[in-house]
A and B are shown apart, each in its own frame.
Chain A
Amino acid sequence: MINELSNEIDLGKTTPSRLTARYLRQIKKIDFKLKSFLRTREKEALAEAQEADKRVKLGKRMSKIDGLPISIKDIICLMGEETTAASNILKGFIPSYDATVVKKLKDAGAIIIGKNNLDAFAHGSSTENSDFFATKNPWDLSKVPGGSSGGSAAAVSAELSVFSIGTDTGGSIRQPASFCGVVGFKPSYGRVSRYGVIAMASSLDVVGPITKNVADAKEVFNIIKGVDKLDATTIEKKNRGNKKSSAKAKVGIIRGIEDRIKDKSTRVAYLGSIEVLKRLGYQIQDYDFGFLDLGLPVYYILQTAEVSSNLSRYDGMKYGYSLLREEQDLTLNDVYFNSRTIGFGEEAKRRIMLGNFVLSSGYYDAYYKKAMQIRTQIIDGYDQIFNECEFILTPVSPSIAFTQGEKTSDPVEMYLEDLFTVVVNLAGLPAISMPYNVSESGLPTAVQFIAPYSMDEELLDFSREFEKKVNFKEKPQI
Chain B
Amino acid sequence: MKITEQTIKKVAELSRLKFEGRQTTEFLAQFSSIIEFVNQINAVDAKDIKVTYEVTGLKNIFREDKIECLDFDRGKLLINTPILEGTEIIVPAVFGEKNDK
Contact = CB atoms under 8 A, between A and B. Distances in A.
Interface of A: 80, 92-94, 96-97, 189-190, 203, 229-230, 232-233, 235, 293-294, 296-298, 300-301, 308, 312, 315-320, 322, 324-325, 328, 330-338, 340-341, 344, 349-350, 352-354, 356-358, 360, 366-367, 369-377, 379, 410-412, 415, 427-428, 453
Interface of B: 7-8, 10-12, 14-18, 27, 30-31, 33-35, 37-42, 44, 46, 49-56, 58, 61, 63, 68-69, 72-73, 76-77, 79-83, 89, 91-94, 98-99, 101
B82 A190 contact: no
Give chain A's interface secondary structure class: helix
Chain B interface, >50% SS class = loop
Given A235-B56, A300-B34, A332 B99 contact: yes
A373 B47 CA distance: 8
A96 B73 contact: yes
B41 A374 contact: yes
B59 to A, nearest CB: 10
B76 A80 contact: yes
A349 B23 CA distance: 12
B41 A230 contact: no
Contacts of B91: 317, 324, 332, 335
Given A374-B46, A412-B37, A353 B12 contact: yes
A376 B34 contact: no
Nearest to B60: A232
Given A325-B82, A332-B94, A235 B58 contact: yes
B49 A377 contact: yes
5 contacts: A320-B80, A353-B11, A353-B12, A353-B17, A412-B33
B79 A94 contact: yes
Residue among A229, A325, A341 with max Cβ neighbours from chain B (10 Å): A341
Given A232-B58, A325-B82, A353-B31, A375 B38 contact: no
Given A328-B83, A338-B18, A344-B17, 17 more contacts: A96-B73, A96-B76, A312-B16, A322-B82, A324-B91, A331-B92, A331-B98, A333-B16, A349-B15, A349-B17, A352-B15, A353-B31, A357-B7, A357-B35, A370-B44, A376-B52, A412-B34
A42 to B, nearest CB: 23
A312 to B, nearest CB: 8
Contact of B41 (A294, A341, A344, A412): A294
Contacts of A356: 11, 14-15
A360 B91 CA distance: 28
Contacts of B53: 203, 372
Nearest to A320: B80
Contact of A341 (B18, B55, B73, B80): B18
A396 B54 CA distance: 24
A92 B79 CA distance: 10
Contacts of A92: 80
Contacts of A190: 55-56, 58
B37 A336 contact: no
